[in-house]
């Protein structure tokens, strides 16, 4: 692939979603070769039969939004599309496209002067795109990323790199002084430190060397397949890798789970990975509990809620299986530097109001796409007053706004949690000079308990609007709200009380450590005496595993992070999300109850 | 002298008798099917609706069963019990007294014999009928006696003795079994009685007087036993029983201790004592299911649950996990499970082609170290 090339334009508008690119009903066609002719079949039926190799798509904002369907990128790649120019891209499509061998350029302006059928010229090194004699600037594309595209995608690129004798990227670490240089968002500071860049800005693509990689059991089988396809015998650094069995352990879905269990053991054995956590709890909670994801560092994992450790000032985001395979082998992973939104939390959280209420309120305000590929950066006295567990709750759910990461400033609580000198990590903080896309300010003193209602995480209502809604089941657990503090507040509310007749109350501590402590402190006894059911630490019902699946027209109130349709039962099960305090109060009465009335 | 069953039913063997049971138990296991046929309840105070099987629900269908059972209990004013653990053990601990008659749709209802109560396993239509009328009729069965003498060797459990007895006795053809077993403690008697009907007995009880004529089992000669996999639930009574030694070395993927045979505080104590200084084999999944909430709390207070957690076991909710179609502990294709659960039919613990072997808690714990029988 040349650094300078021209192609014929196919023009599209804003918000082209992955269903428009390839309809969901075509998703089961067994091969991409067969599927590719249905690309854009509803919007531009002629596309599949007339697109030529080398054609270029020009689009508006949010190209590739919707599902995380990888085929949306691969059908374009198989149709010979090697470049897309758009005002902005949906987060997951952006990664999928590059990894499928498509060059994505961000440009605002060309859309107004070009038409379908025009010829656009791309100059990668010159950082411009031109049409009809007019040039427009585009962001920098690092050499390694260009190679991924030029080699036809990530898997092919990795195979080629291995064949040529893998040359590892040399990174000159930044000095503490360079880390402290003002004028950057926290995401920028974390990325530039790891990538060894003195300066970065939103839209730049940086190659990082993540400090920690986490694989969870859902993707072990696919990862084994991809590693086999690439033909990798060794990985970059097994000590930087942990495998955590949490979604499919305890094995519960008979036909599937044992294969994931076995594949995890196979990966561990084949690549010498020693940090194994089999049935010890939820991956994201273990990542900070075991101090794998540290402040000031970068972590990545095969799961969307990887944003959790942002609560400790760690840049962390989820990736797909192909990317994980390549990253394990090369030790490298590219990120686009995100824009950032500053969220100032003023005041003090009143009794009975938890950090879950804060993030639900924010999600209701900015909606599920309000943080699309953004870094949500939290500050303010209420943010600093939050415990580490409360911060992890907020960072965990930042993902539900589409955010790339959710970051808290490092402070003494962070340093104490990690037993690190604050002076080494205090550069992970908000700079007044940093450029934020916008600033949101909340006064948490006035906050009421919040509930996310059926069916969408961003359908958030204050408790007053939902009070008295009957529930059939209450679930306390997940990487969002399965911590010891969450157990503590629920136990305080439930002590000496009984769960409402017929209501199923299910408790799943996030990790073995939480479980042990909750036993020691008597919380588990309180739950059992109240009529609760305790399951072993795991992802459980949060990810739709069989730990309380429900039937038609039943309602569940859960402390987890998603209430998508069908996730906790059938298509007709109604799911609500809330804080542990609201969950416990509701378990007693059987209908949505304000915990402040019981505290 | 009257037999246990004659005393309980108030008539001699061979006579037709009608009794009014003290308790009728309907659960979410198989018995819930009776709810569909019950139009009225003669004595609601005697009917207990217990949620103890699919805990927490592993399928939406299971949740629908709970809704149905709850609505039934509310409509007729029956007691609804949930989150207390396995119904049999809960009843023994909290409800049943000597002299009671309990009607259940379950193979292990003979457990009540250990406390001097009569447990009767009935079909689903019969369960519905008894619930509606409050009456149960039967021809009083004959009794067979069994003497279990001597003391069990170290590492051998009463489960092994029960399996050895069943192997020796063969099909008990609807007779009532009375055990004379003065060396067994109360918990051991419960395990023995609960397993007595697996091969076809009507019920079981305990006699304190040595019978003149009886089957004899010398407990000191009992060796670890295994109940083998079988093809279907209907064939469970014919599942082969053999000595564990014959299977030595067979690779296993998982083990489970739970139920009244492995999840009571007595069994949990033994299992926890066994794991002292040992390490769970990599690639072996161990599930621990406390029988009841009471057992769970007691085990927590004695530090036993924490020791299991440290060992790497998965702690399931209190309840009956001897059949798991989908839920914690389900087994994958061609995997092998060793369990204290009493169902070994294909599909009982997940995949149709997974194999389930019943054995004592001691045998399960030993396997957890070696990944082998």
Q: Contacts of residue A501 in chain B, CB cutoff 8 Å?
A: 80
- Architecture, CATH, for domain A450-597: 2-Layer Sandwich (3.30)
Same domain, B69 and B155: no
Which residue range is the domain that position B71 belongs to?
4-139
Per-residue pLDDT of chain B (373 residues; tens, 9 = 90+): 799 999 999 999 999 999 999 999 999 998 999 999 999 999 999 999 999 999 999 999 999 999 999 999 999 999 999 999 999 999 999 999 999 999 999 999 999 999 999 999 999 999 999 999 999 999 999 999 999 999 999 999 999 999 999 999 988 989 999 999 999 999 999 999 999 999 899 999 999 999 999 999 999 999 999 999 999 999 999 999 999 999 999 999 999 999 999 999 999 999 999 999 999 999 999 999 999 999 999 999 999 999 999 999 999 999 999 999 999 999 999 999 999 999 999 999 999 999 999 999 999 999 999 999 9
Same domain, B153 and B76: no
Determine whether the interchain pair B59/A278 forms a contact, defined as Cβ–Cβ distance below 8 Å: no
CATH label of the domain that carries residue B242: 3.30.499.10
CA separation, residue B236 to residues B89, B104, B241, B344 (Å) = 22, 18, 11, 7
Same domain, B117 and B169: no
Same domain, B338 and B298: yes
Residues 234-293 of A with CB under 8 A from B: 249-259, 261, 265, 278-280
B/e letters for B46-62, b = 16+ CB within 10 Å, e = fewer, are bbbbbbbbbbbbbbbeb
List CB contacts of A69: < 8 A, sequence separation 6 or more: A18, A22, A24, A27
Q: Contacts of residue B66 in chain A, CB cutoff 8 Å?
A: 504
Q: What is the pLDDT of residue A68?
A: 62
Does B62 touch chain A if contact means CB atoms closer than 8 Å?
yes
CA separation, residue A115 to residues A9, A12, A58, A119, B29 (Å) = 7, 10, 9, 9, 66
Q: Contacts of residue A504 in chain B, CB cutoff 8 Å?
A: 56-57, 66, 82-83
Closest partner residue to B63 among A254, A516, A550, by Cβ? Answer: A550
Q: Contacts of residue B312 in chain A, CB cutoff 8 Å?
A: 278-280
Same domain, B213 and B252: no
CATH label of the domain that carries residue B181: 3.40.1060.10
Q: What is the pLDDT of residue A67?
A: 64
Chain B interface disruption, residue of A246, A514, A528, most B CBs within 10 A = A528
Q: Contacts of residue A265 in chain B, CB cutoff 8 Å?
A: 282-283
Domain assignments of chain A as residue spans, ordered by start: 4-139, 205-336, 450-597
Distance from CA of A563 to the nearest CA of B (A): 16
List CB contacts of A395: < 8 A, sequence separation 6 or more: A307, A308, A309, A310, A311, A378, A405, A406, A407, A408
Report CA Rg, chain A: 24
Determine whether the interchain pair B66/A515 forms a contact, defined as Cβ–Cβ distance below 8 Å: no
Asked if the ipTM is above 0.90, the reply is: yes
Same domain, B267 and B345: yes
Distance from CA of B56 to the nearest CA of A (A): 5
Write the CATH number of the domain with boundaries A4-139. 3.20.19.10
Among B169, B190, B221, the domain boundary falls at B221
Q: How many CB atoms lie within 10 A of CB A235?
A: 21
What residue of A is the nearest CA neighbor of B314? A536
DSSP secondary structure code for residue A396 in this structure: H
Whether the Cβ atoms of residue A77 and residue A100 lie closer than 8 Å to each other: yes
Do domains A4-139 and A205-336 share one topology? The answer is no
Per-residue pLDDT of chain A (599 residues; tens, 9 = 90+): 899 999 999 999 998 988 899 987 787 777 788 899 999 998 999 999 999 999 999 999 989 887 667 789 999 999 999 999 999 888 778 888 999 999 999 999 999 999 999 999 999 999 999 999 999 999 888 888 899 999 999 999 999 999 999 988 888 889 999 999 999 999 999 999 999 999 999 988 899 999 999 999 988 998 998 899 899 999 999 999 999 999 999 999 999 999 999 999 999 999 999 999 999 999 999 999 999 999 999 999 988 899 999 999 999 988 888 899 999 999 999 998 999 999 999 999 999 999 999 999 999 999 888 888 899 999 999 999 999 999 999 999 999 998 999 999 999 999 999 999 999 999 999 999 999 999 999 999 999 999 999 988 999 999 999 999 999 999 999 999 999 999 999 999 999 999 999 999 999 999 999 999 999 999 999 999 999 999 999 999 998 999 999 999 999 999 999 988 888 999 899 999 999 999 999 999 999 999 999 98
Closest partner residue to B326 among A536, A546, A570, by Cβ? Answer: A546
Chain A interface disruption, residue of B50, B55, B56, most A CBs within 10 A = B56
- Tens digits of per-residue pLDDT, B63-121? 999 999 999 999 999 999 999 999 999 999 999 999 999 999 999 999 999 999 999 99
Distance from CA of A409 to the nearest CA of B (A): 34
Dihedral over Cα of A426, A432, A436, A442: its sign: positive
Determine whether the interchain pair B285/A551 forms a contact, defined as Cβ–Cβ distance below 8 Å: no
Task: Determine what percent of chain B falls in helix, strand and coil, rounding each to the nearest 5.
Answer: 35, 25, 40
Record the tokens describing residue A487, joined without a space. Answer: 């157990």
Q: What is the pLDDT of residue B15?
A: 97
For the domain made up of A205-336, give the CATH fold: Aconitase; domain 3 (3.30.499)
Q: What is the pLDDT of residue B162?
A: 98
Query: Structural domain tally of chain B?
Result: 3
Q: What is the pLDDT of residue A567?
A: 84
Same domain, B207 and B241: no
B/e letters for A114-130, b = 16+ CB within 10 Å, e = fewer, are beeebebebbbeebbbb
Q: Contacts of residue A252 in chain B, CB cutoff 8 Å?
A: 58, 326-330
List CB contacts of B21: < 8 A, sequence separation 6 or more: B46, B101, B102, B103, B120, B130, B134, B136
DSSP secondary structure code for residue B3 in this structure: -
Whether the Cβ atoms of residue A581 and residue A597 lie closer than 8 Å to each other: no
Question: By C-alpha distance, which of A98, A107, A144 is closest to A128?
Answer: A107
Among B189, B221, B253, the domain boundary falls at B221
Same domain, B88 and B183: no
Strands (E) in A351-394, as ranges, are 374-379
Angle, CA A442 vertex, CA A439 and CA A443 arms, to 5°:
145
CA distance B305 to B245: 30
Closest partner residue to B63 among A253, A261, A551, by Cβ? Answer: A551
Q: Contacts of residue A258 in chain B, CB cutoff 8 Å?
A: 253, 331-333, 335
Among B221, B255, B290, the domain boundary falls at B221
Same domain, B229 and B361: yes
Determine whether the interchain pair B56/A547 forms a contact, defined as Cβ–Cβ distance below 8 Å: yes
Q: Contacts of residue B304 in chain A, CB cutoff 8 Å?
A: none
B/e letters for B74-102, b = 16+ CB within 10 Å, e = fewer, are eebebebbbbbbbbbbbbbbebbeeebbb
Residues 344-363 of B with CB under 8 A from A: 350-351, 354
Chain A interface disruption, residue of B50, B63, B80, B299, most A CBs within 10 A = B63
CA distance A302 to A313: 19
Q: DSSP for B120-183, please give it.
A: EE--HHHHHHHHHHS-EEEEPPPEEEEEEES-PPTT--HHHHHHHHHHHH---TT-EEEEE-TT
Q: How many CB atoms lie within 10 A of CB A412?
A: 10
Q: What is the pLDDT of residue A405?
A: 96
């Amino acid at each position: 692939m040349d650094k300078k090339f021209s192609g014929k334009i196919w023009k599209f508008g804003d918000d082209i979603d992955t269903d428009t690119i390839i309809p969901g009903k075509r998703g089961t066609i067994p091969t991409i070769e067969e599927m590719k002719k249905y690309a854009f079949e509803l919007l531009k039926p002629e596309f599949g039969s007339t697109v030529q190799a080398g054609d270029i798509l020009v689009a508006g904002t949010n190209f590739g939004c919707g599902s995380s369907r990888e085929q949306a990128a691969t059908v374009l790649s198989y149709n010979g599309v090697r470049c897309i120019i758009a005002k902005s891209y949906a987060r997951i499509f952006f990664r999928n496209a590059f990894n499928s061998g498509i060059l994505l350029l961000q440009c605002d302006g060309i859309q107004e002067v070009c038409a379908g059928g025009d010829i656009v010229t791309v100059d990668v090194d010159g950082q411009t795109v031109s049409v009809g004699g007019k040039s427009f600037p585009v962001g920098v594309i690092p050499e390694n990323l260009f190679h991924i595209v030029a080699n036809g995608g990530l898997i092919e690129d990795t195979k080629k790199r291995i064949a040529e004798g893998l040359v590892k990227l040399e990174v000159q670490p930044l000095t503490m002084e360079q880390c402290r240089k003002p004028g950057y968002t926290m995401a920028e500071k974390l990325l530039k430190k790891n990538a060894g860049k003195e300066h970065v800005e939103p839209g730049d693509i940086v190659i990082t060397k993540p400090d920690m990689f986490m694989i969870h059991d859902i993707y072990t089988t696919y990862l084994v397949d991809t590693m086999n396809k690439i033909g990798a015998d060794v990985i970059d650094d097994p000590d930087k890798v942990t495998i955590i069995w949490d979604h499919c352990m305890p094995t519960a879905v008979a036909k599937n789970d044992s294969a994931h269990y076995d594949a995890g053991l196979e990966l561990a054995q084949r690549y010498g990975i020693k940090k194994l956590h089999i049935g010890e709890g939820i991956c994201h909670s273990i990542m900070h509990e075991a101090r794998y994801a540290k402040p000031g560092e970068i972590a990545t994992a095969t799961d969307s809620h990887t944003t959790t450790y942002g609560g400790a000032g760690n840049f962390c985001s989820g990736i797909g299986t192909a990317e994980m395979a390549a990253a394990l082998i090369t030790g490298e992973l590219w990120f686009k530097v995100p824009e950032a939104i500053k969220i100032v939390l003023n005041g003090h959280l009143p009794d009975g109001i938890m950090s879950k209420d804060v993030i639900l309120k924010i999600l209701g305000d900015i909606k599920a796409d309000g943080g699309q590929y953004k870094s949500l950066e939290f500050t303010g006295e209420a943010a600093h007053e939050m415990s580490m567990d409360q911060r992890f709750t907020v960072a965990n759910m930042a993902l539900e706004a589409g955010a790339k990461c959710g970051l808290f400033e490092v402070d003494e609580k962070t340093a104490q949690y990690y037993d690190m000198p604050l002076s080494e990590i205090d550069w992970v903080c908000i700079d007044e000079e940093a450029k934020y896309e916008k600033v949101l300010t909340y006064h948490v003193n006035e906050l009421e308990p919040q509930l996310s209602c059926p069916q969408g995480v961003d359908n958030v209502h204050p408790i007053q609007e939902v009070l008295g809604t009957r529930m059939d089941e209450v679930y306390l657990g997940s990487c969002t709200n399965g911590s010891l503090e969450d157990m503590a507040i629920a136990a305080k509310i439930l002590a000496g009380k009984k769960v409402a007749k017929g209501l199923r109350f299910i408790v799943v501590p996030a990790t073995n450590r939480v479980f042990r402590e909750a036993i020691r402190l008597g919380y588990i006894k309180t739950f059992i005496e109240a009529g609760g059911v305790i399951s072993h630490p795991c992802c459980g019902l949060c990810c739709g595993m069989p730990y309380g699946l429900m039937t038609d027209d039943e309602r569940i109130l859960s402390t987890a992070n998603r209430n998508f349709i069908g996730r906790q039962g059938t298509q007709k099960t109604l799911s609500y999300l809330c804080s542990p305090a609201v969950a416990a109060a509701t378990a007693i009465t059987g209908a949505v109850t304000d915990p402040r009335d019981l505290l | 002298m009257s037999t246990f069953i004659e005393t309980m039913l108030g008539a001699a063997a061979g006579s037709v008798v009608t009794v009014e049971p003290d308790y009728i138990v309907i659960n979410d296991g198989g018995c819930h099917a009776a709810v569909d046929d019950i139009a009225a309840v003669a004595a609601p105070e005697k009917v207990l609706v217990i949620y103890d099987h699919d805990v927490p629900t592993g399928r939406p269908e299971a949740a629908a069963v709970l809704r149905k059972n709850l609505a039934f209990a509310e409509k007729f004013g029956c007691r609804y019990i949930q989150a207390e653990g396995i119904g049999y053990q809960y009843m023994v601990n909290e409800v049943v007294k000597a002299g009671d008659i309990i009607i259940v749709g379950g193979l292990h209802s003979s457990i009540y014999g250990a406390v001097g109560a009569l447990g009767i396993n009935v079909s689903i239509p019969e369960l519905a009928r008894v619930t509606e009328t409050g009456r149960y009729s039967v021809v009083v069965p004959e009794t067979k006696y069994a003497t279990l003498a001597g003391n069990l060797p170290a590492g051998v459990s009463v489960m092994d003795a029960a399996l050895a007895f069943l192997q020796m006795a063969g099909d008990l053809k609807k007779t009532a079994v009375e055990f004379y077993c003065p060396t067994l403690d109360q918990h051991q008697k419960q395990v023995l009685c609960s397993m007595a009907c697996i091969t076809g007995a009507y019920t079981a009880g305990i006699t304190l007087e040595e019978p003149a004529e009886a089957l004899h089992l010398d407990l000191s000669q009992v060796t670890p036993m295994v109940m083998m996999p079988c093809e279907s639930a209907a064939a469970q009574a014919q599942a082969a029983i053999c000595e564990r030694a014959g299977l030595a070395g067979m690779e296993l993927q998982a083990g489970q201790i739970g139920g009244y045979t492995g999840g009571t505080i007595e069994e949990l104590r033994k299992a926890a004592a066994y794991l002292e200084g040992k390490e769970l084999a990599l690639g072996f999944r161990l599930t621990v299911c406390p029988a009841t909430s009471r057992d769970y709390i007691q085990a927590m207070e004695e530090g036993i649950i924490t020791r299991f957690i440290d060992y790497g076991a998965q702690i399931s909710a209190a309840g009956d996990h001897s059949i798991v179609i989908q839920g914690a502990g389900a087994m994958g294709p061609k995997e092998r499970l060793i369990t204290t659960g009493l169902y070994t039919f294909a599909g009982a613990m997940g995949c149709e082609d997974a194999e389930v072997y019943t054995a004592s808690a001691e045998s399960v714990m030993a396997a957890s170290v070696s990944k082998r029988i």
